[in-house]
Structure 1
Amino acid sequence: MKPGKDLVAFMGRLGHDFADPALLQRALTHSSLSSPTRPDNQRMEFLGDRVLGLVMAEAVLAADVEAKEGQLAPRFNALVRKETCADVAREIDLGAAMRLGKSEMSAGGRRRMALLGDAMEAVIAAVYLDAGFADAKALILRLWGDRIASVEEDARDAKTALQEWAQARRMTPPVYEEVARSGPDHAPIFRIRVTLPSGESAEAEAKAKRQAEQAAAKDLLGRLD
């Protein structure tokens, strides 16, 4: 198969020249466009998630040889979660290369965090199947870059921590609400407010709602502590 211009351009942004471009084409095909002769990327997403997990497990162990499991796990989770995969996908403009059905495309699928994260994992699997683990590992470490070294000392899930704080004080769970949205349609910025039953609140902005929720929860936790 001779790759089209969009695939060639994406391979350049990705930094991997596929021996079998059909693997990349499948990795970029969403279920909304799949057919018996054009399989989607769900199985590849499953594989890519595992390859990414192994690479990041090795990376966080190597970055801190004295860290305990309780410190390593939240760092690992921060590096492999869907939001991080989507951020990496945005940096290489993966959305422009995705193959989507009309309905998903009109719904803004090229910008959706979940679709971008899934496709990034599928692309990792495509590189692994095309060139092996060593090349897939090198690609991941290059694309994730400084995220590995700068992952927070305590990268625990702030939303979970805030909910546990509230439960320990016999409160109902905190409430999250979108208070503003700015920026262009293709790259919106969400402003989220979190409020505790006792009245304390905090706000934060991010490119994805879940990221903004986490940031707001972290801010509020810092004030409570």
Structure 2
Amino acid sequence: MALHGSLEPPVQLHQVSKVGDGGRKAPDTARLEAVLGHRFADQSLLATALTHMSAEDSRLASYQRLEFLGDRVLGLSVAELLFRQFPQSEEGNLSRRLADLVRKETCAEVAEGWNLGQFMRLGEGEILGGARKNKAILADACEAIIGAVFIDGGYEAARALIERAFGERMLKPVRPLRDAKTALQEWAQGKGYPTPTYSERGRSGPDHAPVFVVAAKITGLADAEARGPSKRLAEQAAAEAFLRREGLWNDNPEGDNV
């Protein structure tokens, strides 16, 4: 059933009004397309994917919407590739690998491999601030490129780009976890859940030897409680309890923890 009247008018994803940084001519993106392995039928999509909000008067003319889309396409594509690449891996291991591959740090590494910074359209202040090497901006632009390829060439084109860019990383050992809280946060990210939070549920014992009760909470899932001699250690224990309940944690350092 078609909807009329109540929705905003459609906004063109690829609307771009300025050329280059501070009025300068934009760099030749043919080299970038060669690195990406995708020739854009709609060049304005690529231009938008390379446009930081500081270079435009409107956020809608920047890469933000394409970044939003690319983030989802990246997650789906990596999940599919992992499912096919590791047929013997359990869900916990696949989730850990997914979180490791779609994290902002990995996207920034991919963007650096594409040499994406030199093609970015930035405001003068951002240029002076070194934004071409800013990992957060590069990570966002990486996802925007993926979104642009998805719009321009469909899912298969985006999936092929992701396989080329992330494939070798997919085969590397999963980065070692620092602690249970990190494991829980990365697992939640990989599953699309909100960031875990921790709340103190109680405290007992004398001042010189307190016992804290803390709950690890993720919206949409049951809380997990644990105790510890400090809030920090109780939070770690609660995160571990959460992971154990989900079948994602064991005591074997060589085991299949998240």
TM-score range, shorter chain: 0.5 to 0.7
Q: Does 1:52 align with 2:111?
A: no
Compute the TM-score of the two structures, normalised by the length of structure 2: 0.59
SS at match of 1:22: helix
Specify which of 107, 128, 133 is matched with residue 85 of structure 1: 107
Partners of 1:28 and 1:60 in 2: CA distance: 28
Q: How does 1:76-155 map to 2 (within 5 A)?
A: 76-152=98-174
Q: In structure 2, the residue corresponding to 1:18 is in which secondary structure?
A: coil
Aligned counterpart for 1:160 among listed residues 171, 181, 196: 181
Greater than 2 Å deviation, 4+ residue runs: 3-6, 35-38, 154-164, 167-174
Give the gaps of 5 or more residues in structure 1: 175-220
In structure 2, what is the equivalent of residue 12 of structure 1? 34
Question: For 1:61, which of 68, 83, 92 is the aligned residue?
Answer: 83
Q: Would the alpha carbon gap of residues 6 and 85 (structure 1) be closer, same or farther in structure 2, given more than 3 Å must change?
A: same
Do the aligned partners of 2:53 and 2:59 also contact (CA within 8 Å) in 1?
no
Q: Return the offset for 1:172.
A: 6.0
TM-score norm. by structure 1 comes to: 0.67
- Judging changes above 3 Å, is the alpha-carbon distance between structure 1 residues 157 and 16 closer, same or farther for their aligned structure 2 residues? farther
Aligned residue for 1:215? none
Residue 170 of structure 1 pairs with residue 229 of structure 2: yes
Aligned residue among 44, 48, 56 for 1:34: 56
Partner Cα separation in structure 1 for residue 58 and residue 119 of structure 2: 21
Contact 1:56 1:76 in 2 (8 A): yes
How far, CA to CA, are the matches of 2:177 and 2:78 in structure 1?
16
Does the Cα contact within 8 Å between 2:73 and 2:147 map onto a contact in 1? yes
Structure 1 vs Structure 2 CA RMSD: 3.0
Q: Distance in 1 between matches of 2:160 and 2:229?
A: 48
* 2:143 alignment partner AA: E
Counterpart amino acid of residue 160 in structure 1: K
Distance 1:62 1:17, change over 3 A: same
The Cα of 1:155 is off from its aligned counterpart by: 5.5
| Per-residue deviation, 1:29 | 0.5
Distance 2:71 2:160 in 1: 15
97 and 157 in structure 1: CA distance in 2 versus 1, 3 angstrom threshold: farther
CA distance in 2, matches of 1:168, 1:151: 32
Conserved in 2, the CA contact under 8 Å of 1:95 and 1:110?
yes
The structure where helix makes up a greater share of residues is 1
- Give the letter for the 2:88 counterpart: E
Write the distance in 2 (CA, Å) between the matches of 1:170 and 1:62.
Answer: 44
- Deviation (angstroms), 1:156: 4.5
2:108 aligned partner, one-letter code: A
